[in-house]
Structure 1
Amino acid sequence: MKILVSIISLIAFLLVALPAPLHKFGFLDLGTAMTGFRFGLFVGIAALVLLAIQVIFKRKTVSLASAAIAVIFSAIAIALPLGMMNNAKSVPPIHDISTDLVNPPEFVAIVPLRADASNPVEYAGAETAEQQRTAYPDLQTLTYSQSKPELIEAAKQTMENLGWELVNTDADKGIIEATDTTTWFGFKDDVVVRVTDNGGERLVDIRSKSRIGRSDMGKNAARIHGFIDELNSVIEPS
C-alpha cells in the first residue's frame, strides 16, 4: 500500500510538472499538455484518498517520510491546477489588452509572425474593451514630457530589461514591437508600444495580445503593468 501511494502521488506530481516544459520545447501539443495537467489534479486527490485509507486501516505500514512526500507531491498536483482555475475565474476571458481602447496600437512587423496563431491580429472589439474597462480601469494612455526619440529608446531599453524579443522599431511612426515568451508553457504573446505627439507632451500606449487561448488569465494586463513600472524606472532612475 505504501508503495502504491508513493507511486500514485509521484505520477500526480509529474502530470502537473512535466506538461508545461514538454509543450514549451515541442514534445507535446497544447491539448495533450492541458489534459495531462488537469488529470494530475484528480490523480493527486486519489493519492490523498489512498493515503487516508492506509492511515486508517493499515497504520503500521505508514512511515512519516513516505507519507510526507506523498502529501507534498499530491498537494502540488492539486494546488497548481486549482490555482490556475481560480485565477481564470477572477479575470475576464479576454486576451487582448490595450491602454487605448478606442484606437488600439496596431501590429505591423509582428503580423506575419502570427500567421498560424488561433487569435487574429486585429483588435478583439467592443465587448473585449468593455470587459477590460471593468477589470482593469487603471490601464489608460500614459502622458510624458520627454521627447519622442527619448521615449522610443526608453521603451526599447524597457523591453530589453524585461527579456522580451524586440521585433521592430519604427521611429518615424513611433512604433516598437516585441514578443514575450511565458516562462512555464512557453506561450508567445505580442506587444506593441506607440508613442505619439500631443502638443507639448507625448502619449504612450501599450497593447499586449496572446497568440492562442480565449483567456490569458490576466497575463497581458500584468505584462502591461510591469512594462509601465519598468519604463518609469528607466525614464526616472532612482
Structure 2
Amino acid sequence: MKHSGKIALLVAIIGAVVAALILFGARLGLWEPITGFGLYRTYFNPLAGIIAGVGLLALVIHLVRKEKTQATLGGVAAIVGVALLIPMISSTLNPTPRAAPIHDISTDTANPPEFEVLDDTRAGASNTLEYGGPELAAAQVAAYPDIASLETDLSADDAYQRALTVAQDMGWEIVAADAERLRFEATARTSVFYFADDVIVVVTPQGDGSRVDMRGVSRVGRSDQGVNAARIRDFQQQFQN
C-alpha cells in the first residue's frame, strides 16, 4: 500500500486513454461509430467509477499516513475519475428531454430535397434515404417547429456559393456539387463517436433573392438525438453572419 498513490495515478492514466479511445476510436478507424457508442454505454461509467474509487482510496490511505506526495497522486487520480463521471452526474441532476424518435430532418417537409449521388449503399448505413412522408413531417413539426427554409436577399448563385463555403467551414465532406443546378450533397460527422449524417443543400431562385433548403439524414439509429436539427440551425446562423 506504500505506493498506492502511484498505482492510482497509473490506473487513471490507462483509464483516461481507454476512455478517449471509446469516444474517438471510430475517428481513428478502430471500429464503426455504433460500436464506440455501445462501448460507451456499457463500460464508460464503470471505468470512470473505478478510477475515482481507486484514487479516493489512495488519497485517504496516504492522508492518514501523512504522505503528502502519494496523497496528491491519489487526489489527481480521483479528479480524473470524477471528471469522467461528469456527463453522468450532469444528466442525472438535469435530465435532457428525450429527443423525438426521428433521424431525417428537412427544412421543407412538403417537398424535401432528394439525394441523387448518395444512396442506401453508403458505408455503415442502416437507415434509408427515402423520405418518410406526412407522418415524418408531422413528427418533425411537433419536435422542431422552428426548422424552416432559409430565405435570403442573395441571388441564387451567390447563395449557393455562400452555402458551399459554410458547409466547408463546418468541416463537411462535400460528396457532389452541382453549381448549375444549385445543389450539393455532403457528409457531416459528429465530433464524438464520429457518427455520419448525410446532408443535401438546394438553393432555389425566389423573386429578387433565393431560398436555401437543407435536409440531414443519420446513417444509423432511430433517433438522431436532435443532432440534425441542431446542425441545420448552426448552418443557417453561420450563413447569415
**TM-score, L = length of structure 1:** 0.80
3-state SS of 1:111 partner: coil
Contact 2:152 2:211 survives alignment (8 Å): yes
> For residues 16 and 123 of structure 1, do their structure 2 counterparts lie closer, same or farther at Cα, with a shift above 3 Å needed?
farther
Structure 2 counterpart of 1:26, from 6, 25, 29:
29
Structure 2 counterpart of 1:184, from 180, 192, 202:
192
Matched, 1:137 2:140: no
> For residues 117 and 81 of structure 1, do their structure 2 counterparts lie closer, same or farther at Cα, with a shift above 3 Å needed?
farther
Deviation at 1:228, TM superposition (A): 0.8
> For residues 226 and 191 of structure 1, do their structure 2 counterparts lie closer, same or farther at Cα, with a shift above 3 Å needed?
same
3-state SS of 2:221 partner: coil
Q: Deviations over 1:88-110 (max 9, x none)?
A: 74432332211112221111112
Matched, 1:78 2:81: no
2:47 is matched with 43
Contact 1:167 1:177 survives alignment (8 Å): yes
Contact 1:114 1:121 survives alignment (8 Å): no
Contact 1:8 1:44 survives alignment (8 Å): no
3-state SS of 2:25 partner: helix
Q: Which residues of structure 2 form unaligned runs of 5+?
A: none
Q: Which residues of structure 1 form unaligned runs of 5+?
A: 234-238
Deviation at 1:136, TM superposition (A): 2.3
Structure 2 counterpart of 1:154, from 162, 166, 179:
162
1:15 is matched with 18
Q: What residue identity is the alignment partner of 2:16?
A: F
Percent identity of paired positions between Structure 1 and Structure 2? 33
Deviates more, 1:129-138 or 1:46-55: 46-55
Bigger proportion of residues as helix: 1
After superposition, residues 81-120 of structure 1 pair within 5 angstroms as 89-111=97-119, 114=122, 116-120=124-128
Q: What residue identity is the alignment partner of 2:196?
A: K
> For residues 8 and 152 of structure 1, do their structure 2 counterparts lie closer, same or farther at Cα, with a shift above 3 Å needed?
same
Q: What residue identity is the alignment partner of 1:42?
A: P
Separation in structure 2 between the aligned mates of residue 50 and residue 133 of structure 1, nearest angstrom: 48
Separation in structure 2 between the aligned mates of residue 11 and residue 122 of structure 1, nearest angstrom: 44
Q: Deviations over 1:48-79 (max 9, x none)?
A: 34444555667326744213221222123222
3-state SS of 1:189 partner: strand
Q: What residue identity is the alignment partner of 2:74?
A: A
Deviation at 1:164, TM superposition (A): 1.7
Contact 2:218 2:224 survives alignment (8 Å): yes
Matched, 1:196 2:204: yes
Contact 2:189 2:196 survives alignment (8 Å): yes
> For residues 37 and 7 of structure 1, do their structure 2 counterparts lie closer, same or farther at Cα, with a shift above 3 Å needed?
farther
Contact 2:48 2:84 survives alignment (8 Å): yes
**RMSD across aligned positions (CA):** 3.0
Contact 2:59 2:73 survives alignment (8 Å): no
3-state SS of 2:229 partner: helix
Q: What residue identity is the alignment partner of 1:206?
A: M
Q: What residue identity is the alignment partner of 1:76?
A: A
2:174 is matched with 166
Q: What residue identity is the alignment partner of 1:157?
A: T
Separation in structure 2 between the aligned mates of residue 128 and residue 83 of structure 1, nearest angstrom: 31
Contact 1:9 1:43 survives alignment (8 Å): no
Separation in structure 2 between the aligned mates of residue 107 and residue 118 of structure 1, nearest angstrom: 16
Deviation at 1:125, TM superposition (A): 4.3
Deviates more, 1:53-62 or 1:109-118: 53-62
Contact 1:13 1:40 survives alignment (8 Å): no
1:236 is matched with none
**TM-score, L = length of structure 2:** 0.79
Contact 1:13 1:76 survives alignment (8 Å): no
